[in-house]
Amino acid sequence: MSGKLKVAGTQAGIVAAGGALAHAGLLVLLAVIVIGLTELGMPAWLAALIVAVAVIAGGYVLVNRGLSKMRSTSFVPVQTMETLKENATWTTRTRA
């Protein structure tokens, strides 16, 4: 079991590194968009503000969508609860 955990930990580290690289790439892409808008004649502060507001709005939509899906999802282990009740009933009958 510890071997599987070690492999899982290694894979989790690889996933984290990939996520960090993807995040860095997104930041560079956002900087390119700001630079592109300034090259089109827009003041740098306005270009950065537009990009920031767009990114914040997108993040807000994603967070709210995820939260609403999580609120409508039941995390109660229904099958496990039923099995425990059946086991309790069986145990009670067996003792009698």
Question: Which residue is it, tokens 């009670």?
Answer: 92
Total-model pTM: 0.67
- Which residues, in sequence order, are CB contacts of 35 under 8 Å at separation 6+? 47
Annotate 12-44 with DSSP letters as a single string.
HHHHHHHHHHHHHHHHHHHHHHHHHHHHTT--H
Q: Which of 72, 30, 74, 32 is nearest to 53 (CA)?
A: 30
Instruction: Give me the tens of pLDDT residue by residue for the chain, a chain 96 residues long.
Output: 677 888 888 999 999 999 999 999 999 999 999 999 999 999 999 999 999 999 999 999 999 999 998 888 777 788 888 888 888 888 888 775
Q: Are 62 and 75 in contact (CB under 8 A)?
A: no
